Structure 1
Amino acid sequence: MRHVPHPVAIITSTDPRNGSDSPARGMTVSSFNTVSLSPSPIISFNVRRPSETLAALLLSDRFLVHLLAPNLRTAALARAFSRGNNTRTELEDFEFTQYLSEEGKVPLSLPLLREKEEHAKGSDIPFVLECKVHQQVQVNDHTVVLGQVLHTLGQIAESRRSEADELCLTYADTRFWRMGDQID
């Protein structure tokens, strides 16, 4: 399976427990997938347990999915978040800002990744999905998270053919990739 490319996403959430030193949680997943579009869009991804980010998103019931443009900066960002929970604020070109989700009973502030203004070179994070936990399934040492998409942030491409450099970052064979040439 290591030769099968998968889309890369960074999942962020907030740990709502009182007394938490750093409520922002984040991780890279390469198992992101769509499950259904109707009657509401559902996405999925897998998380190896234990995971502080998984605990945060299950406790808060909300999370953000950041899909990345295919370049060296976003590959470095994805690698930084692949080393377990990442709450670091020393991300060179990126920072956490707060996104206020008002979908639940109580408004919840979620950690939104974005380019720092002084390092902005375009849209390295072309869009973000705000999701709520729809279901979770325990499978051996992993949890499969199913999330209902509530909102999209950023610009979703119009229904047109995309160029390779407009597609999202992928992961295969222990490396990050940009999609290649169209064959059909």
Structure 2
Amino acid sequence: ATRLTLRDMQLNGIVTNQTRELAIDFVAYNGNIDAFFYVAVVFQFTTSGFVEKDIHVDTIKLPDIRSGMFALRLFLEIVVIVFTISRLALALRGVYRATLGGIRKGKASKFGERLFIVLQVIAFRVLGNPFVLLDFLSGITTIVTLVMWYSYVLLDLTQSFFFPETPVWTPAQCAEMGLCSDAD
């Protein structure tokens, strides 16, 4: 599989005769110990045709539930959630009041007239003011990020996912799992 992947990279122009180095980076999460692993696999192509391989692994450990830092992190997460929801609620309240005022002032009774006023308020109040637009976008992206984070952390897969503690496997370790050869 590795040779096929390298051949595919060569056909697509990723690896050529002028390529000096190829780095593959990825991040893995181990839910058992609440740690992120940043892994960089580096291939260096020498002029003699020899390929040097190197693996770099950095660990970022999240605070343990039993530690004092967990309470601080949980408190800050709650503060961010409350602040974001309150800012979005205030911004939506302002848009709602402006829409309601426009409908009352113009005495719009038909659906089309009300829809026009709503679109007009959104265009001038939200899209016309870059700070309000930025506030909306910031709040929405914060909520999306928090939802994605909690849905990822609370999944059964992340709780049972195992990432080996030793990044470089010995021949005995890879033989147990059948990973010493890429013949498949």
Question: What TM-score results when the alignment is normalised by the length of structure 1?
Answer: 0.22
Task: Select the structure of larger CA radius of gyration.
Answer: 2
Greater fraction of residues in strand: 1
- Higher relative contact order (Cα pairs below 8 Å, separated by 6+ residues): 1
Normalising by structure 2, report the TM-score: 0.22
